[in-house]
Amino acid sequence: MTHLLEVRNLHTHFRTPGGGLVRAVDGVSFSLDRGETLGIVGESGSGKSVTSLSIMRLLSKPAGFIAGGEIHLDGRDLLAMSEREMRRVRSKEIAMIFQDPMTSLNPVVPVGRQIAEPLRVHMRMTPRQARGQAIELMGRVGIPEPHQRVDDYPHQFSGGMRQRVMIAIALTCNPKLLIADEPTTALDVTIQAQILELIRQLQAELEMAVIIITHDLGVVAGVADRVNVMYGGRIVESGPTDYIFEQPRMPYTIGLLRSVPRVDDDSDNRLVPIRGTPPDMGKPIVGCAFAPRCDHAHSRCLDAAPTLRTVAPDHRAACHFDITLDTPTTAAPSVPAIEWGGVSSNP
Amino acid sequence: MQPLVQVNDLKMHFPLRKGIVVQRQIGSVKAVDGISFDIDEGETLGLVGESGCGKSTAGRAILQVRKPTAGSVRFRGTELVGLGKAGMSVYRRHLQMIFQDPYASLNPRISVGEAIAEPIRVHGLRHGADVAQRVRELMEMVGLSQSMMTRYPHEFSGGQRQRIGIARALAVEPEFIVCDEPVSALDVSIQAQVINLLEDLQQRLNLTYLFIAHDLGAVKHVSNRIVVMYLGKIVEIADSVEIYRRPLHPYSKALVSAVPVPSPKLERKRSRILLNGDLPSPINPPSGCRFHTRCPIAIKRCATEEPPLVEHGSKHKAACWMI
């Protein structure tokens, strides 16, 4: 059986006003099966959001464009589709929710009508049917008293409830794939727990595949079956969630896990940060993008970018060396460290 | 020993007005509604809670950025509330703040060296060429190279800007710093750098911190003790390990259980206490215990009588009828 989603060697670039080119996504390949949850982890600028926008073909034009690669959904190439066909895919097959629901909701339209709109347009429901279905969906995503709240406006809802409204809209057409881009970043922890629980529960009921994009390793650990770690526009490690967290093989993943303060850690140990700053995507990256910050880097890392290779069954990492959690970090790195002065933006 | 900072029954209410010509006060937002705690010298006190619980307002009220509605804030025994602008200016030097978004507090047209030099000049701490020397010292202290003195804020990354914000706060040689979400806007890999820097500076300069953040992992890591706030009230105060190991208040329990841990094995084993609904409005907070509307173990009494913050074991206080 083919995968539900297959991304092959995706390259997404942005032209900058100064005539430069940002390779936001630089050769990304992965697949996703039906009912599976994939976590994409990375820092700002790693290409995680651009990957999902590329799948939806929602890049801001004309600056952003897909420079190469293939994206197959159920065996059909999304990049070869007309805009008309693509709209069908967005309405019936892939749904997306974002970090800030307030910017995706229309402030002057009651939420019930916003949920009903896709039902009327795509499912050809009558206004009455659509309204009934909207109320049912609101109940399903845990909005209390949906009958009373269906005519309320977005500003009358709290952040968590707005995200529930977004999820209700996303569910209108029974999508096969839900892409959630930082769905809980703007929410408080107790509300985050509610929303993650809702996504988990709906996924089990509806057998949707989910891509959850986040910078929070804790969120991924709790919901994802598989994880892609992104850095500098590439996937640098990929595998089942347990492998990524228990036996990480890419120095960046190891560094991230070590640098996060954990609530279950009672020791007073100093955090072990990753030194330096993420790469400037406006400049071409030669070699491994992580090399300037890596404790294990050799001259080879600066010359040639490592390919994503299989390091264990079903587990791939992009590193020239066999680094594990047990590999001692060398005190003096063999590559000159970039000092704090690595200026990130253009002067 | 006398605590460095003593906060007693501090209240910060914001009036709600209605009317265009004649404005009547129709109520008030009780952002901070009677909080008390001490901060010892050299200590880091964490302040956690969800958005709208009043934690940032509390930090500002302590520093007298806005005049508190009622209550007392003592710094080394001196009452700060009611000191007035002139009286306060003497203490400003000792009490500083670090913000979430340092970019918003930096003038884009002033070079970083100038920005750090400004407070030194305003307070007359150095003169002439000594000012530049002190700026270089401060930049080195926060891990910025001296060659960057002449650069402008937009040329720096988020982590570097936070370092500039820290250097500005340190410029006046403060004793107490309120850190309001100092790492929330930074990338994960940069957060640890800034947390380590804050810890190093504390050691080196014997600083006292009030560390306000919603990231419970970071707060636990840096704090000696932690205060949990809910709707303008303190619900629990305890040692930082204690509060995660043995939270007493049902809200603290829910909060701790909701924090995701980066370990899939632990995540599968953990049981979450899912709270119902959202934070009620601070304009019209629930009667009795403010948490009773969402509390899984509330009884009748909770709706009518407000539980006091009482001691439960050494240095551990909680406000709940059900403990």
Cβ proximity of A219 and A134 under 8 Å? no
Tens-place pLDDT, residues B135-178: 999 999 999 998 999 999 999 988 899 999 999 999 999 999 99
Q: Alpha-carbon distance B45 to B68, whole Å? A: 20
- Residue ranges of the domains in chain B? 5-94+174-318
- CB-based contact A245 B199, cutoff 8 Å: no
CA angle B163, A338, B170 (to 5 degrees): 15
Contacts of B274 in chain A (CB under 8 A): 190, 193-194, 197
Does the pLDDT value for residue A344 go beyond 60?
no
Q: Alpha-carbon distance A185 to A48, whole Å? A: 14
- CB-based contact B196 A217, cutoff 8 Å: no
B44: which strand partners? B209
- CB-based contact A264 B274, cutoff 8 Å: no
Does the pLDDT value for residue B189 go beyond 60?
yes
- CB-based contact A218 B190, cutoff 8 Å: no
| Percentage of the residues of chain B whose pLDDT score is greater than 90 | 76
Tens-place pLDDT, residues A121-144: 888 899 999 999 999 999 989 898
- CB-based contact A271 B156, cutoff 8 Å: no
Does the pLDDT value for residue A185 go beyond 90?
no
Selecting from A189, A222, A266 the residue whose C-beta is nearest the C-beta of B267 gives A222
- Best mutation target among A217, A257, A260, A290 (most B Cβ atoms within 10 Å) is A260
Question: What ipTM was estimated for this complex?
Answer: 0.85
Does the pLDDT value for residue B268 go beyond 60?
yes
User: A268: how many CB neighbours lie within 10 A of its CB?
Assistant: 10
Q: Alpha-carbon distance A94 to A210, whole Å? A: 10
Among all residues of chain A, which has the CA nearest to that of B52? A188
pLDDT level of residue A10 (50, 70, 90 thresholds): very high
pLDDT level of residue A330 (50, 70, 90 thresholds): low
Query: So what's the pLDDT on residue B281?
Result: 84
What is the average pLDDT across B94-123? 92
Alpha-helix runs per DSSP H in chain A: 48-56, 83-92, 101-104, 111-122, 127-140, 146-149, 159-171, 189-206, 217-223, 241-246, 251-259, 299-303
Residue B281 contacts A where some CB pair is shorter than 8 Å: no
Question: Which superfamily does B5-94+174-318 belong to?
Answer: P-loop containing nucleotide triphosphate hydrolases (3.40.50.300)
Contacts of A192 in chain B (CB under 8 A): 258, 260
Mean pLDDT across chain B: 92
Mean pLDDT across chain A: 89
Does the pLDDT value for residue A334 go beyond 80?
no
Pairing of strands A177-181, A94-97: parallel
Query: So what's the pLDDT on residue A308?
Result: 94
Does the pLDDT value for residue A163 go beyond 50?
yes
Q: Torsion-angle region of residue B128: left (phi > 0), alpha (psi -120 to 50) or beta?
A: left
Among all residues of chain B, which has the CA nearest to that of A219? B260
Query: So what's the pLDDT on residue B89?
Result: 87
Q: Encode chain B in three state secondary structure.
A: CCCCEEEEEEEEEEEEEECCCCCEEEEEEEEEEEEEEEECCCCEEEEECCCCCCHHHHHHHHCCCCCCCEEEEEECCEECCCCHHHHHHHHHCCEEEECCCHHHHCCCCCCHHHHHHHHHHHCCCCCCHHHHHHHHHHHHHCCCCHHHHHCCHHHCCHHHHHHHHHHHHHCCCCCEEEEECCCCCCCHHHHHHHHHHHHHHHHHHCCEEEEECCCHHHHHHHCCEEEEEECCEEEEEEEHHHHHHCCCCHHHHHHHHHCCCCCHHHHHHCCCCCCCCCCCCCCCCCCCCCCCCCCCCCCHHHHHCCCCCEECCCCCEECCCCC
Does the pLDDT value for residue B284 go beyond 50?
yes
Query: So what's the pLDDT on residue A1?
Result: 65
Query: So what's the pLDDT on residue B173?
Result: 94
- How close A114 gets to chain B, by Cα (Å)? 22
What is the average pLDDT across A45-60? 93
Q: Which residues of chain B from 21 to 60 reach within 8 Å of chain A, CB to CB? A: 50-51
